[in-house]
A and B are shown apart, each in its own frame.
Chain A
Amino acid sequence: MIVTCSPHIRHQDTTKSIMRDVLIALAPALLVSVFVFGVHALVLVAVCVAFAVGAEYVFEKACGKPITIGDYSAVVTGLLLAYNLPLGLPLWMAAFGSIVAIIFAKQLFGGIGQNFANPAITARIVLLISFTGPMTDWVTGYPDTVAGATPLTLMATGQTDKMPSIAQMALGQIGGCIGEVSAVALLIGFAYLLYRKVITWHITISFIATVAVLTALLGQNPVYHMLTGGLMLGAIFMATDYSTSPQTPKGRVIFGIGCGILTVLIRVYGNYPEGVSFAILLMNIIAPHISNYTRNKALGGAAK
């Protein structure tokens, strides 16, 4: 007879099923990416995923820890990192990024759930600072893959007359990282994650809304800011990473607003044209404190 503590039934969701849902939500962006940039986008994705999963396996094997590659979280990290890279990045750099993400940002802090910073974001920033040239060497895809600046670079350098149309931005006919170019594809993924209750609306909506409001206040075009750069990708898939964001609804809204403010400050006043990665990383650091200061009021207990 099995004797265990209650409850004796559990919800069917597991870590693995959640990660699988994230992968499904990321699929439309991958399809658009292959359509826009060609098969090479797929090669980049394959390299990132393979090295992320491989790094996790090798590290855990070497440390004698249980192998967790079956939970798909390393696949998600590899995929997200690939989405954050430009098409022309040398593949060895992408592989290096995956290793940084898994080993330095995740495993050295104790593995899944223990890392304080989003692994894909951390790796992207490491790559951006280490290999600034290749990391900002953009190509614009569809119909012809040609070299071109991203809309944010155009905005930052005042070339607003060369800006693509909103429709072009929504569908992905712009320069940028391979996974961030189509806002529509990312929003489909967002809808799926909400439907599957994998994430709540709080972080994503407060993040994007803050960017929209602030850029409008600063006299810039909020729609351009919402549709370009990694904002959609960051707000939907990166900022909502469980272990690096607050656990309370109130905390998540604060976290999203913080991400939004920092993104706009860096985009408008910083040296890099885009600020989503830095904004999320900075907010990751204070996420546990936000969690602590926004605890729910316990029923019948005085508020802390």
Chain B
Amino acid sequence: MSIKRLSGVHAPHHKNTAECAPQRIPTPDKVIIPMNMHIGAPSTPVVKAGDLVKVGQVIGEAAGFVSVPVHASVSGKVVKIDELLMANGAKAKAVVIEADGLQEVAETVVPPTVETTEQFLAAVRASGLVGLGGAGFPTVVKLSVKNPNSIDYLLINGAECEPYITSDLRTMIDDCEHIIKGAALIKKFVGQKKTIIGIEDNKPEAIKLFQEKTANDPDFEVMAMPSLYPQGGEKVLIHNATGRDVPEGKLPLDVGCIVINVTTLAFISKYIETGMPLIEKCLTVDGSAVAKPGNVIAPIGTPIAKIFEFCGGYKAEPRKILYGGPMMGISVPSDEVPLLKNNNAVLAFAEKEATLAPTTACIKCGRCVAACPVGLMPATIEHAFKIKNVDMLNELKVMLCMECGCCSFVCPAKRELVLTNKLAKAMVREASQKK
């Protein structure tokens, strides 16, 4: 099958921590657990100040279909329900727990009974799982398939195309069995016909491991992908693995695909075995300001300053701190922000890496056009946004932008093309609401 590969950019890999086996950090004395760590309705807190909680206990209940419960990541006392300004600008309720250090596990943490599809989906929802690849989409929504016969592919996303991040690689190497078991569980309860794991070819170790482990399964394919960012973009992966394109406004399910990140999948099978909900995360800690970069396992809600502290602290003054990788990560205002469910890395950069070159005039070189995996014309979109022409923005298909950052990355004039795309999308949304 020959599929025309989508374009992208050769971002520097910086996979410095690929050899670092994850280390568990000591239980922090305080965690801040926000109620909206996923796309969709924020969860509703069900504890109050003064309550004693145990590890794995529900502290926030799902508030709708596109929502999942939130669990306590430490045992201790709830000190307050705070109003927290999230990095995306939204305000959210957050439960602040003072840890007692005992890490007593809640009685509710028992392996779930999973015999039917309904039970399986209920278990996935109860686990509090959101997509761990970065976007934070509740996984149960992805798996809620109306017509199981329509699912042709389960695509396991092991691309990990973001520079610096190696936590997925560590999961693939250290927890290969759980990923394969997870795929089998989904096959049993959701019923895909074929399973493909996509891994960028800069991780030959992981590719080899999966080829060995799945050699006997004709329906399980290991796909080596070029190390061309953003191979891990959902639509990019679907296109490159199956040749199918997700139409505007549709979901992968509409083209018979489910895309799940490797760590998400590993978590599902571990949850079915143990019943321990999503309370901790393996993540990469790196960046030019970090003394000892590495992979760590930390409770959700840990202030990220504690995580940096565990990694030897700062060796230079941090000027920019990111949730996630440098291509799509969100820069946060301080290191007091908590670790979220969907974080796969926290990076701290010193002055040199934190400051960007000044923006100059667009020279219409067309590099953004050549780099865009979706095939958009970012410079033209920028022009349409400037003149506030919503019709033109629609014609230019701005809503298809997945905000991967390739256009800004290659721009020799250092223009903020992704930012413009985000603002343009907001402008289009606002205009369509007015209609």
Query: Chain A residues in contact with chain B, CB under 8 A?
Result: 1-11, 13-15, 17-18, 68, 71, 73, 111-114, 200, 242-243, 246-249, 291, 295-302, 304
Q: Using Cβ atoms and an 8 Å threshold, which residues of chain B touch A302?
A: 248
Q: A304: nearest residue on chain B (CB-CB)? A: B395
Which are the 4 A-B pairs with shortest beta-carbon distances?
A247-B366, A7-B405, A296-B375, A5-B419
| B residues near A13, Cβ cutoff 8 Å | 410, 412
Q: Which of B72-80, B92-100, B168-176, B316-324 contacts A (4 or more CB under 8 A)?
A: B316-324
Is B185 an interface position by the 8 A CB rule?
no
Residues of A within 8 A of B328 (CB): 6-7
Could you tell me if B361 and A113 are in contact, using CB atoms closer than 8 angstroms? yes
> In whole angstroms, what is the CA distance A111 to B361 when docked?
9
Other-chain residue from A1, A4, A11 in contact with B318 (beta carbon distance below 8 A): A1
Q: Known contacts A15-B412, A299-B235; is A247 also within 8 Å of B163 by CB?
A: no
CA distance A243 to B362 in the complex (A): 9
Chain A nearest CB from B287 CB (Å) reads 10
* Residue total for B at the interface (Cβ-Cβ under 8 A): 66
Question: B260-286 CB contact bits vs A (8 Å, 1 = yes)?
Answer: 000000000000000000000000000
Chain A neighbourhood of B322, CB < 8 A: 8
Interface of A is mostly: loop
CB 8 Å contact bits of B129-165 with A (1 = contact, 0 = none): 0000000000000000000000000000000000100
Least CB separation from A297: chain B residue: B375
Q: Which residue of A lies closest to B348 (CB)?
A: A1
Q: Are B250 and A300 touching (Cβ within 8 A)?
A: yes
Known: A6-B328, A297-B375. A11 touches B9 (CB 8 A): yes
Residues of A within 8 A of B245 (CB): 299-300
**Minimum CB distance partner of A19 in chain B:** B363
Closest beta carbon of chain B to A285's beta carbon, Å: 15
Residues of A within 8 A of B21 (CB): none
User: A1 near B321 (CB under 8 angstroms)?
Assistant: yes
- Indicate if B373 sits at the interface (CB-CB under 8 A): yes
A-B CB contacts (within 8 Å), total count:
158
Interface residues of B (CB under 8 A from A): 6, 9, 11-12, 163, 235, 239, 245-248, 250, 318-322, 326-334, 349, 353-357, 360-366, 369-370, 372-377, 379-380, 395-397, 400, 403, 405, 408-414, 416, 418-419, 422
**Cβ contact within 8 Å between B397 and A298:** yes
B334 touches A10 (CB 8 A): no
- For B246, the chain A residues whose CB sits under 8 A away are 299-300
Contact B365 A242 (CB under 8 A): yes
Most B CB within 10 A of own CB, among A2, A6, A73: A6
In the bound complex, what is the Cα–Cα distance between A4 and B353 (angstroms)? Answer: 12
Task: Name the residue of chain A whose CB is nearest to the CB of B6.
Answer: A299
A90 vs B246: C-alpha distance in the bound complex, in angstroms?
Answer: 63
A10's contact among B366, B376, B414, B422, by CB below 8 Å, is which? B414
- Alpha-carbon separation in the docked complex, A71 to B357 (Å): 14
A73 to chain B, nearest CB (A): 8
Q: Are the CB atoms of B361 and A247 closer together than 8 Å?
A: no
State whether A17 and B412 are in contact (beta carbons under 8 Å apart), knowing that A113-B361, A299-B6, A300-B246 are contacts in the complex.
yes
CB neighbours (8 Å) of B9 from chain A are 11
Known: A7-B328, A301-B400. A14 touches B414 (CB 8 A): yes
Report the separation of the CA atoms of residues A68 and B354 in the bound assembly, to the nearest whole angstrom.
Answer: 25
A112, B235: Cβ atoms under 8 Å? Answer: no
Contacts of B330 in A (CB 8 A): 6
Are A300 and B400 in contact, with the CB atoms below 8 A? yes
Q: Is the CB of B363 within 8 A of A113?
A: yes
- Chain A residues within 8 Å of B369, by CB: 247-248, 296
Taking CB atoms, residues of chain B closer than 8 Å to A8 are: 320, 322, 326-327, 329, 331, 349, 353-354, 356
Q: Which one of A9, A17, A297 lies within 8 Å of B327 (CB-CB)? A: A9
User: Contact partner of A5 among B318, B395, B418, CB < 8 A?
Assistant: B418
**Alpha-carbon separation in the docked complex, A68 to B361 (Å):** 10
Residues on the B chain within 8 Å of A299, using CB:
6, 235, 239, 245-246, 373-375, 400
Q: Is the CB of B326 within 8 A of A9?
A: yes
Asked whether A9 lies within 8 Å of B409 as measured between CB atoms, the reply is yes
**What's the Cα separation between A17 and B357 when bound, in Å?**
13
Alpha-carbon separation in the docked complex, A242 to B373 (Å): 21
- B373, B377, B418: the one contacting A247 at CB < 8 Å is B377
Cα–Cα distance between A1 and B408 once the two chains are bound (Å): 21
Instruction: Give CA–CA (A297, B104) in the complex, Å.
Output: 56
B412 near A301: Cβ-Cβ < 8 Å:
no
Give the distance in Å from the alpha carbon of A15 to the alpha carbon of B422 in the complex: 24
- Residues of B within 8 Å of A298, CB to CB, are 248, 374-376, 397, 400
Residues of B within 8 A of A14 (CB): 357, 360, 412-414
Question: Can you spell out 20 A-B residue pairs with CB atoms less than 8 angstroms apart?
Answer: A3-B333, A5-B419, A6-B330, A6-B408, A8-B356, A9-B12, A9-B409, A10-B409, A15-B360, A71-B360, A112-B363, A113-B361, A113-B363, A113-B364, A113-B413, A114-B361, A295-B396, A299-B239, A299-B246, A301-B247
Interface residue from B334, B377, B408 paired with A295 (Cβ < 8 Å)? B377
In the bound complex, CA of A14 to CA of B360 (Å): 9
Report the nearest B residue to A299, measured CB to CB.
B374
Report Cα–Cα, A114/B409, bound state, in Å: 22
- CB <8 Å contact, B247 and A6: no
Chain B nearest CB from A122 CB (Å) reads 17
Bound CA–CA A113/B364 (angstroms): 6
Contacts A296-B372, A296-B377, A301-B248 known; 4 new A-B pairs at CB < 8 A: A6-B418, A247-B366, A297-B375, A298-B400
Q: A73 vs B322: C-alpha distance in the bound complex, in angstroms?
A: 36
A190 to B47: give the CA distance in the assembly, Å. 69
Selected from A2, A114, A246, the residue in CB contact (under 8 A) with B354 is A2
CB distance from B234 to the nearest CB of A (A): 11
CB neighbours (8 Å) of A17 from chain B are 412
Known: A10-B409, A301-B400. A3 touches B11 (CB 8 A): no
Give the residues in chain B near A249, CB-CB below 8 Å.
370
Residues in chain A near residue B370, CB distance under 8 A: 200, 249
A18, B361: Cα distance in complex, Å: 14
Interface pair B354/A18, CB less than 8 Å apart:
no
With a CB–CB cut-off of 8 A, which chain A residues contact B163?
Answer: 9
Q: How far is the CA of A145 from the CA of B330 in the complex (A)?
A: 65
